[in-house]
Structure 1
Amino acid sequence: MRRILAIATVIIVLASCNSKPEGYTLKATVTGELENGTQVYLKTTDSLNQLVDIDTTTVENGAFTFTGSQEKPMLYYVFVEENRGNIPFVLENGAIELKFQKDSMNYAKLKGTQQNELFMNFLTESRKLSERARSMQNDMRTAAQKQDSATVTSLREEYIEFQDEVKTFNVDFAKENPNALISVLIIGNLMMNKSVPNDEIKGMYEALTPEMKQSEPGEQLKEQLEKQKATDIGGIAPEFSAPTPNGELLALSDVKGKLTLIDFWAAWCRPCRAENPNIVSVYNKYHEKGLNVIGVSLDARAEDWTKAIENDGLAWNHISNLKRFQDPVAQLYNINAIPAAFLIDENGVIVAKDLRGPALEQKVAELLN
């Protein structure tokens, strides 16, 4: 009889170890003077990256709790009434513990579930890098106030090297933790900012665990990668049409030359405006040999768009739906950041992407001479 009871106990223990939690409990402890009844909000972001309210509770004796069920792990945020900032964490089924001080929410501590342990590992190192960044920026500001140009130049060079260090940290973390939701978000950010080559992005995505690929950010990343295939070098540039400054529809096929530059830009984009003189120079030099340019503006106001065209002397064709990154042409070309550009031949084949400065003229000269 004892043997049967022992076996039954082992079976129950094993079953409980293998079963997944059916819901989540987020228990938070706050230090600092927070009055009882202070509102706390649980939020996440929608498909347009806008914050949406999910749940609300109140602080009682320096603590609050959220409970519910979450099908897939997702990044959520805790906001405290009349407090600056928020606390990001991964909402997943299980017991999540959160501890923070009222006036330093940026240094909250998370534990209790696998995703939050991984997220905490990332945050710990990321916060150290943020501290270094703030220190370097303060030093640059002080040097600038003293008009110490040599120190400012030295610090700027140091800061550029530091940015490479930050990128390396993010890439390494994502590669070393393919089971972390934060890794999926890192890969998406690297892809959006074009910080690493597309082939490396694809490799990092493929290395993710099945669970992370099936997460909502993982599915979004897959969709972005599939969209990107349509605009890879060697592919056919998707056809489009949009209004000109005069309100007439203009199609890509209407302006195609021996070589055509599709330039995504905006009046508010400083790097775009800085690159415009170079494009003007290349256009003036090679237009008669077959180079055409079509500018796709991601502005929201027509007056800003047309004024920038005039001020920068952009004597080529222009189109815009005045919807910023929601522009259908930008979405067709999977544009998440500008400047961005595609160089296509007379057959519409993409022969180069995102060339700027001397590299643009070098490629145009190679293809037209």
Structure 2
Amino acid sequence: MKKLLILLSLSLAVVACDSVNDGYVIEGSIEGENTEGTELTLRKYGENNQLITVDSAEVKEGTFMFKGGPAESPELHYIFFGRGQENIPVIVENGEIEVSAQRDSLSYARIGGTLQNELFYDFLKGSRVLSRKASSMNQDMRVAQGNRDTVTMNSLREEYFELMDEAKGYELDYVKDNPNAIVSALIIYRILSTKAKTNAEVQELYDSLTPEIKASNAGLKIKESLEKEANTSIGAKAPNFSAPSPEGEELALNDVLGKVTIVDFWAAWCKPCRAENPNIVNVYNTYKDKGLSILGVSLDRNAEDWKKAIEADGLDWHHVSNVQFFDEIAKLYNVDAIPASFILDENGVIVAKNLRGPALGQKIGELLQ
């Protein structure tokens, strides 16, 4: 059930329901041994998905407080205890936010006081039920493995898949029942990112959200991703772009189109990409004289690493890179993981996506027959 919490690590925002002039107050209480004087930090994820510290506080007589704002819009933060990784997620929004917890079970903290925190807590309660089931199942699996009890292990595997289906159903039901919750938008965004449902199904879920949630950062991410998916779906004209080649010259996609073109997103640091490179080399050598062109788009951070990988792997085709990790080109093509590739016809229309291994050579052969 970790995925149910991982999706909440995305930054989010929504038009405030309370007065934007009042600011926010987080009033917390914590019980347990060795809590007095503990330093707390209020953190959130920044633009580069790095945690940044917003404020700090100290536990005094079992209580703590953060105060700030006004918050332009609610946003997910985390209250970290001491120097460890234990934390309590809380949505910072204008109003009086309440947090109560036990030191030895922070993951079961009670949050509330404002609309989005109450909605968030409702979601977490259901998630925790499923998490307890998963934890019990994992414990039973370890015992079965220790006893080499294959019958029980197979039975538990079936129960696990049923639990995963239950979790998916829980999320979808939550979205349908809570169109005014930021959590609903985050669930939809994760479904879209993992391709768990078709774009049409995601669009339907997105359309059910309230205007306020659609205007949130999470809602806007869904809208932007759906638009980019449409722009880079099979049958769409591939967006043109340009970037520096290894020699420093600006090179555009439209400049290198062949009868068939592969736009290959990769990086020197990406092990699956490097493992696939010999297959791409073989395909290129087989079909380059028949009209195959390849444009490698590197998402490296270091230019020297990029250039050395090109030479080491024998990638004798066109290359470009802004050397800026997941840059504007990756965003333009809605690429958030690599390897990723797009196969274009002579007019630059996308005819296939993300083919690797034998499937890549087979498709290129069909197109160039």
**TM-score class normalised by the smaller sequence:** 0.7 to 0.9
- Report what 2:316 is aligned to: 315
Provide closer, same or farther for how the CA distance between residues 237 and 148 of structure 1 changes in structure 2, counting only shifts above 3 A. Answer: farther
* Residue 30 (structure 1) shift: 0.7
Distance in 2, Cα, partners of 1:134 & 1:356: 36
Distance in 1, Cα, partners of 2:220 & 2:54: 22
Distance in 1, Cα, partners of 2:150 & 2:308: 34
Are 2:259 and 2:345, in contact at CA under 8 Å, matched by a contact in 1?
A: yes
Distance in 1, Cα, partners of 2:263 & 2:189: 24
- Report what 2:213 is aligned to: 212
Query: Structure 1: where are the runs of 5+ without partners?
Result: 1-17
- Report what 2:191 is aligned to: 190
| Length, aligned pairs only | 351
The one-character-per-residue Cα deviations of 1:26-84 (angstroms, maximum 9, x if unpaired) are 22111123454433222223333333333333221111123444343321221223343
Are 1:21 and 1:94, in contact at CA under 8 Å, matched by a contact in 2?
A: no
- Report what 1:66 is aligned to: 66
The one-character-per-residue Cα deviations of 1:266-313 (angstroms, maximum 9, x if unpaired) are 233343334434433433443333222211111223344344444544
Distance in 2, Cα, partners of 1:266 & 1:139: 41
Name the stretch that deviates more: 213-222 or 340-349.
213-222
Distance in 2, Cα, partners of 1:331 & 1:248: 22
Distance in 2, Cα, partners of 1:280 & 1:140: 44
- Report what 1:7 is aligned to: none
Are 1:37 and 1:59, in contact at CA under 8 Å, matched by a contact in 2?
A: yes
How high is the TM-score relative to the length of structure 1?
Answer: 0.78
Name the stretch that deviates more: 186-195 or 176-185.
186-195
Distance in 1, Cα, partners of 2:140 & 2:283: 39
The percent of aligned pairs where both chains have the same amino acid is: 54
Name the stretch that deviates more: 165-174 or 258-267.
165-174
* Residue 365 (structure 1) shift: 3.6
Q: Are 2:268 and 1:267 equivalent residues in the alignment?
A: yes
Distance in 2, Cα, partners of 1:157 & 1:245: 51
SS in 2 for 1:61: coil
Alignment of 1:1-369 (within 5 A): 22-68=22-68, 69-130=70-131, 169-325=170-326, 327-369=327-369
RMSD (Å), alpha carbons: 3.8
SS in 1 for 2:106: strand
Are 1:37 and 1:60, in contact at CA under 8 Å, matched by a contact in 2?
A: yes
SS in 2 for 1:324: coil
SS in 1 for 2:91: strand
Name the stretch that deviates more: 210-219 or 147-156.
147-156
What amino acid maps onto 2:218 in structure 1? P
Are 1:72 and 1:216, in contact at CA under 8 Å, matched by a contact in 2?
A: no
Distance in 2, Cα, partners of 1:314 & 1:133: 45
> Which structure would you say has the larger Rg?
1
Are 2:264 and 2:294, in contact at CA under 8 Å, matched by a contact in 1?
A: yes
Are 2:262 and 2:343, in contact at CA under 8 Å, matched by a contact in 1?
A: yes
